[in-house]
Amino acid sequence: MKPAAEGPSKKLKGNLKGNSLWSEIWKHRMTYTLLIPGLVWLILFAYMPMGGLSLAFKEYKANLGIWGSPWSGFENFKYVFRDPTFIDAVWRTLYINILKLIIQFPFPIILALLLNELRMRRGKKWFQTVLTFPHFLSWIIVSGVVINVLAYDGLVNSALGLLGLPTINFLGSESNFVPMLLLTDIWKSSGWGAIIFLAAISGIDQDQYESAQIDGASRMQQMFRITLPNILPTITVMFILSVGGLMSSGFDQIFNLANAATKNVSEVLDVYIYRITFQSSTDFSFSTAVSLFRSLVNMVLLLLADRFAKWLGGDGLFR
C-alpha cells in the first residue's frame, strides 16, 4: 500500500513544480519578452541553416535544390580525406592557431593587469581607448596599412634605403608570414580582449587589497596573490573557448594578408574551403563536408578543454 501512496504524491510534486515554473515565467514576463527578438534571430540564423548541413551527405544538384538532391552517404568525406591539400591545410591551421594560443592568448591578460595598476584615471581611459580602437577596424583596412608599411616600396623599406641598408621582402617571404599574422592579431585584438579581464578585475572585493596593504604586501604581490587568482575562472573560460576554435583560423586576416608568394604557408582550412567553393569547380557538397568536419573537431576540442579544466580543479563551461 505504501508505494501506491507515494505515486500520487510524486505526481502532485511534479505538478507543483510545473505550476511554479510557469508562475515564475509569468511573474517575469517582461524580462522574457525582451528575449524574444534574440531567440527569433537565433532560430532563424543559427538553427534553421543547420538543415543545409545535409549537403555533406548528398550529391548537390542545383536544379533539384538542397532537399531534392540525392543522398550519397559518406562519399564526400572519403574524397575529403583522400585530398593531400586538405590534410596540409588541417595541420597548417592547427600550427598557426596553437602558436596564437601560446603567444597571443596571454597578451590581453597582461594588458589588463598593467592597465589595472594605473592610478591615473584619465591616463587609464586614454590607454584603453587607444588599445581598443584597432578592434573596430576591418581586416581589409588593417591589411591595407600593413601592405603600405611593409611593401617593397613601403615606409619601412624606404627608411632602410635612406639609411643605406638592404631592403627586406616582408610580404613575399614565407618565413615572415606567420610572425606577421601573430603581430597583427596581437595588435588588433589584445585591447578588446583586455576589456573582459578588466571587467573581471573590477568585480574583486577591494577588502582583499586593503588587508594585503595592511600586511605590507607590495603591488606585485597583490597582483599575483589576489588579482590573478580571482580572475582565473575568467581566464579558464576564455582559454576553453580559444581551444574550441583551433580549427578556425581567421579567414579575413589570412585572406587579406596572403599573396601568391606565400600561398604554401597561407592556405589554412578556411582558405581551402573558400578555394574549393568559389575558385575551382563549384562543389557545395564537398565544401559542406569539410565545414562539418571542422565544426565537429572544434566541438570535440571544446569538450576536451572543458574536461581538462575541471580535472585541474577549475570551473568549466558546463556544470
Q: What is the pLDDT of residues 82-140, one digit of tens each?
A: 889 999 999 999 999 999 999 999 999 999 998 888 877 777 888 888 888 989 999 99
Name the helix (H) or strand (E) containing 34: helix 29-42
The pTM (predicted TM-score) of the whole model is: 0.80
How far, in Å, CA of 47 to CA of 237, rounded? 24
SS3 at position 58: strand
Band (214; pLDDT cuts 50, 70, 90): confident
Asked if 96 contacts 253 with a C-beta cutoff of 8 angstroms, the reply is: no
- 82-to-87, 215, 266, 270 alpha-carbon distances in Å: 8, 65, 21, 18
Task: Tell me the HSE value of 107 on the side-chain side, using a 13 A CA sphere.
Answer: 20
Question: 190-212: per-residue pLDDT in tens?
Answer: 989 999 999 999 888 888 888 88
How far, in Å, CA of 146 to CA of 130, rounded? 18
Q: Quick one: 58-311 is in which CATH superfamily? A: MetI-like (1.10.3720.10)
C-alpha cell at 161: 634605403
